Amino acid sequence: MKYLIIGLGNIGQEYEFTRHNIGFQVLDQLAAEHQTKFQIDRLALITSFSYKGRSLYLIKPTTYMNLSGKAAQYWINKLKIPIENTLTIVDDLALPFGKLRLRPQGSSAGHNGLKSLEEYLKTQAYPRLRFGIGNDFAKGQQANYVLARFKDQELFLLESPINQACEIIKSFCTLDITRTMEHYNADTSCKDLTGANRI
């Protein structure tokens, strides 16, 4: 069984640790846990490892966010992985900071990376793990907010949900999406980590 895990983000030092790049951060953590490193390849940085009899391929598209679907489509076709065996990790303004939500399908909700996946995959029915980044920005400042780096305190608070995101990915690949959703979507440890006093 093969699985493709797609972390959404933008390449380049100027985008490291920005809110829009949380998909990259999750995959970096997962790769580190399994002592594997990303290598540049066609349209993406890619690495892979075996876990409980499954082959997990991780990609970080080098196409920038707006063309994420191009890289996803290429690697889905090259590795011959069905869409239901893919999982896209994406930042989400609609969820509180640190909240995680696994979904089998859904709209792009205006997210350019998800719009690109819809365009190239010709469907909204692809699994995604939504990672809450909060929405503490003034009107008209959404782009600046998502492209800004996490604050130091936020980076500290992210350690737990990033680790949990890695557990969700492994559960998705070894169990199934339904049982993984039942367990993790109801997990109260995925609460808004900043509480009432948002950073």
Name the nearest CA neighbour of 13 among 112, 126, 149, 141: 149
**How big is the chain, counted in residues?**
199
Evaluate whether 151 touches 190 at the Cβ level (below 8 Å): no
Sheet holding 128-132, edge to edge: 39-41, 44-51, 54-61, 2-7, 86-92, 128-132, 100-103
Evaluate whether 171 touches 1 at the Cβ level (below 8 Å): no
Cα-atom radius of gyration of the chain, to the nearest Å? Answer: 16
Annotated active-site positions, please?
20
| CA–CA–CA angle 62, 118, 137 (5° rounding) | 70
CA dihedral 177, 74, 31, 166 (to 10 degrees): -20
